[in-house]
Structure formats: C-alpha cells, structure tokens
C-alpha cells in the first residue's frame, strides 16, 4: 500500500498523482466507498474530517456536491 518517494518519505500508493486515488479506497466514488485500512490510516488521513475544506475539495474533484459546511473544532480532530 506504500510507495517510496525518497529514502525518507513515502505515500500511500495511488496518492502521488495529479488525479489521486488511494489504493486503500475500495468501492465506487460517488456511490459507496470505504477505507480498507481505516484503523491503520496515516495521520494526514486522520486530519481530514467530513465537511472540512480538504473534504470539500476532494468531493469537488470527483464532481460530488458539497456537504453542509462544518466548523472543525479541536475535539473533532481528537476524535478522528
Ligand atoms: S483514509 Fe487514507 S488510507 Fe484510507 S482510503 Fe482515504 S486516503 Fe487511503
């Protein structure tokens, strides 16, 4: 699932593209998807919350409508 970028840095396979699609994502975008390694997902994934800016940008890239906007609190981040 991991692709080496440098001797120090790596990324999830499929995410280092202009049109990223993580190989851990199973299902069909826009219908039903899930992360196949959710409990082990890395910290950048844990920082994205449903309805935050990164979520909305990802949805827009796939032509999906925006979710209701949400103000992300510190407790939301701790719960993720
Ligand atoms: S949460 Fe992270 S690891 Fe899981 S599918 Fe999304 S990008 Fe991949």
The 10s digit of each residue's pLDDT in 19-47 is 889 999 999 998 999 999 999 999 999 99
Find how far residue 43's CA is from the centre of its chain. Answer: 10
**Looking at residue 19, what is its pLDDT?**
85
pTM of the model: 0.78
Can you tell me the mean pLDDT for 52-64? Answer: 91
Q: How far is the CA of 7 from the centre of ligand 1 (A)?
A: 22
Q: How much is the pLDDT for 70?
A: 64
Q: Quote the ligand 1 centre to 38 CA distance (angstroms).
A: 7
Q: Residue 65: what are its φ and ψ, rounded to 5°?
A: -65, 155
């Amino acid at each position: 699932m991991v692709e080496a970028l440098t001797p120090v840095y790596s990324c999830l396979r499929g995410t280092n593209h202009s049109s990223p699609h993580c190989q851990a994502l199973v299902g069909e975008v826009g219908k039903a998807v899930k992360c196949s390694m959710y409990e082990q997902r890395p910290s950048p994934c844990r920082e994205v919350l449903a309805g935050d800016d990164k979520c909305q940008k990802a949805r827009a890239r796939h032509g999906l409508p925006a979710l209701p906007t949400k103000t992300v609190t510190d407790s939301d981040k701790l719960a993720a």
